[in-house]
Amino acid sequence: MTKNLTPIIEANNKYSKEFDKGDLSAQPKKNLAILTCMDARFDPAKALGLEEGDAHVIRNAGGRVTDDAIRSLVVSHKLLGTIEWILIQHTDCGMQKISDETIAKLLEDDLETASFNGKSWSNNNAQSENSKPGSKEGHKINWYTFSSLKQSMTEDLKIIKSHSLIPSNIKIHGFIYEVSSGKLIKIEDYK
């Protein structure tokens, strides 16, 4: 076992002994779906006062409105009754600090973890013995990087609101989460 896996299994054993929510419905109690970034600094349940069973939480790098995010939101509404959606992106997002081309070039060089020095990304060029060589496949992927947080949010909200598979009665909200303060700012109020 790894140093991370052992305490995770121990915590789950404790959690499962006290678990009393096996009868929760797959349909969220608050009829709410949230699309947000996978950033570890943002815990949607804690930040938004949610409990298990309250909402669907869809996460991806950047909290971007991708085809898969649309798929999940449509399933959330059509099959599980959500009628209100919240899009949350955040300050200091890694997807704002890199371009699609840079990610692709890093992957072409090698598949190991890259480093960010505060200004740019680079490979460490220290491949492990179990590493695969780099791949050009990264050039075929839309990584959904962005340079302006407000522009990213505005574009993504527009995509959701105008998508042909999303009914117009869905209430859609956009927020920026400030990682330095824990505060949510409505996109309209974000400077």
Q: What is the CATH number of the domain that holds 157?
A: 3.40.1050.10
37 and 111 share one domain:
no
> Are 115 and 174 in a shared domain?
no
Residues 89 and 108 in one domain: no
* Residue at 56 is within a domain: yes
Which residues neighbour 168 within 8 Å (Cβ) at sequence distance 6 or greater?
Answer: none
> Please, which pLDDT band fits residue 124 given cuts at 50, 70 and 90?
confident
Q: Verify that 72 and 152 share a domain, yes or no.
A: yes
| Model pLDDT for residues 171-191, shown as the tens digit of each residue | 999 999 999 999 999 998 887
Question: Which residues, in sequence order, are CB contacts of 129 under 8 Å at separation 6+?
Answer: none
* Owning domain of residue 104: 99-142
Q: Structure pTM?
A: 0.93
66-91: pLDDT as tens digits: 999 999 999 999 999 999 999 999 99
Task: Note whether 45 and 88 are same-domain residues.
Answer: yes
Give me the percent of the chain exceeding a pLDDT of 70.
97
Nearest one of 27, 26, 87 to 60, comparing CA atoms: 87
Q: Is residue 120 part of a domain?
A: yes
| Torsion 134-135-136-140 (CA) sign | negative
Q: Are 144 and 93 in contact (CB under 8 A)?
A: no
Any domain includes 22 = no
Q: Confirm whether 132 is domain-assigned.
A: yes
As a whole number of angstroms, the distance between CA 84 and CA 177 comes to: 18
Nearby residues of 87 by Cβ (< 8 Å), 6 or more positions away: 34, 35, 36, 63, 65, 153, 156, 157, 160, 172, 173, 174, 175
Structure tokens at 186: 């409505």
Same domain for 51 and 77?
yes
* Residue 181 sits in the same domain as residue 109: no
Please state the domain count of the chain: 2
Cα distance between residue 130 and residue 146, in whole Å: 33
Residue 32 located in a structural domain: yes
Whether residue 46 is found in the same domain as residue 128? no
Q: Are residues 58 and 121 in the same domain?
A: no
* Same domain membership, residue 63 and residue 132: no
